[in-house]
Amino acid sequence: NIQNLLGIGMKMEVRNMAPAIALKDGWGVKSAVNPNIAGPWFFPQDGFGEVIGTMSDGVPALVSWEKNGARHYFSTLMYLPPPVLRAIAARAGVHIYNTVCGDPMHIGNDVVFLHAKTGGEKSVILPPGTRMRSIAGPLKGTFVSGQTWNAESGQTYGFLVEKK
């Protein structure tokens, strides 16, 4: 039934494996591998517009297509690396709040929370015309886009995003 749901042809392969794919240039990384062995696996066969990633035998494993004016993506892999997700988001016009992967960020309509996995210099890229005011954690004050602060490992920093 996955074919009816997505609108693209699929092939199911009933075997346990950890698929590895090679990605086209411009998608953040050159390759990706599923982090665990599992099965069955679903591979797109037809009805999509672009092949972004393939298995070593050339079988498509990450594809995109347009349907009803929206771009859709399907990945055979269960988990795509953060740089690939960022590339997808950027192509969709999503604002990227931090270009460096690593620290979990929780973004709401008007809040940004960053949990520092590691200590050191941190910053947030804000939408144009906004600033952020500290509302949780040890920081005080207002910060502009790209302004850095020294974070303590394990600490969460919360901000209210406001118009300038």
pLDDT tens, 21-75? 999 999 999 999 999 999 999 999 999 999 999 999 999 999 999 988 999 999 9
Write down the pLDDT at residue 100: 77
User: Rounded CA gap, 26 and 22, in Å?
Assistant: 12
CB 123 within 8 A of CB 146: yes
Q: pTM for the complete prediction?
A: 0.78
Write down the pLDDT at residue 99: 81
Write down the pLDDT at residue 120: 95
DSSP code at position 9: E
Identify the bridge partners of residue 46 per DSSP, sorted by sequence position: 9
pLDDT tens digits for range 84-139:
998 999 999 899 998 876 899 999 989 999 999 999 999 999 999 999 999 999 99
Write down the pLDDT at residue 101: 67
Distance of CA 117 to the CA centre of its chain: 18
